[in-house]
Amino acid sequence: MALEIDLAGKRALVTGAGQGVGRAIACALGEAGATVFVNDVVESRMDEAVEEVRRRGGRSQGMPFDVTDWTQVQASINGADGLDILINNAGNAGTEGFADLRPFVETQPDEWDRFIRVNLYGVMNCTRAALPGMITRTEGRIVTIVSDAARYGDAYIAPYAGAKAGAAGFCRSIAREVGRYGITVNCVALGTVRTPTTTREGDPAPESQKSDETLKRYIIRRRGEPEDAAGLVAFLASPMASWITGQTYPVNGGYTLSL
């Protein structure tokens, strides 16, 4: 058995792929031979990611839609003429990342919605739109990017952690429903990854004192890079992972450990 990820002929959608982890995943899938649909709500970022996939020898095109808008999601995915791979990467921790850490009792319900709509409903919308075609073809791969916050229960980010945990639970349920059709559904739980949303612009050492203290809890004493996640996602999207489903795999430098 050749240990080479071959996605030739596969059609993959990566949501939130304009930057960071999503862009790295899109590039990895393109390099493995898939035709990659790059989604992002910011079209300039989306276009840049499409060009990067192409520069690396992949085939790619943009697919602009808001994952929280079911009508947009359904129309866009239905227009893709069938997806073999769905990567639910779009997510948020607020427009300024985790800069504003507060006890849950100091938050208000209207603050929770932004996390739930993207991190949970966005995953549900895209999965619902992609599944019928996968069921018809009796084949498919769904990989959802969640967070170690969902596994560990980090303090002061409860709405975000709850939404990510909800997405992981949703994916386990879907894995049970669609395994009979040859569809696998898995999650990748990330620790702190260096991306534009976790980096302060203009700061050559983009870590706050508080985040430096957090970093000491990592066995591998560095932040992750987007490419650290991309390889595992590409593997889970490949034929080599055809008997792996319903799982959540940490990519976190040892922040949390699993049996």
- Domain spans in the chain, listed from the N-terminal domain onward: 11-251
Say whether pLDDT at 18 is over 80: yes
Please tell me which residue in 121, 152, 156, 160 is annotated as part of the active site: 160
The helix (run of H) or strand (run of E) holding residue 13 is: strand 11-14
- What residues does 146 pair with on adjacent strands? 189
Which of 140, 121, 120 shows the shortest CA–CA distance to 132?
A: 140
What is the reported pLDDT for 197?
65
pLDDT in tens, 30-52: 999 999 999 999 999 999 999 99
Is residue 160 annotated as part of the catalytic site, yes or no?
Answer: yes
Q: What are phi and psi of 201, to 5 degrees?
A: -60, 130
User: Residue 101 — very low, low, confident or very high, per pLDDT cuts 50/70/90?
Assistant: confident
Judge: domain 11-251, CATH 3.40.50.720. yes
The end-to-end CA distance of the chain, in Å, is 27
Residue 102, both tokens: 């507060």
Residue 181 CA to residue 221 CA, distance in Å, equals 41
User: Residue 206 — very low, low, confident or very high, per pLDDT cuts 50/70/90?
Assistant: very low
Q: What is the 3-state secondary structure (H, E, C) of 142-195?
A: EEEEEEHHHHHCCCCCHHHHHHHHHHHHHHHHHHHHHHHHCEEEEEEEECCECC
Cβ proximity of 174 and 127 under 8 Å: yes
What is the reported pLDDT for 177?
98
Cβ proximity of 85 and 239 under 8 Å: no
- What residues does 58 pair with on adjacent strands? none
The helix (run of H) or strand (run of E) holding residue 135 is: helix 122-137
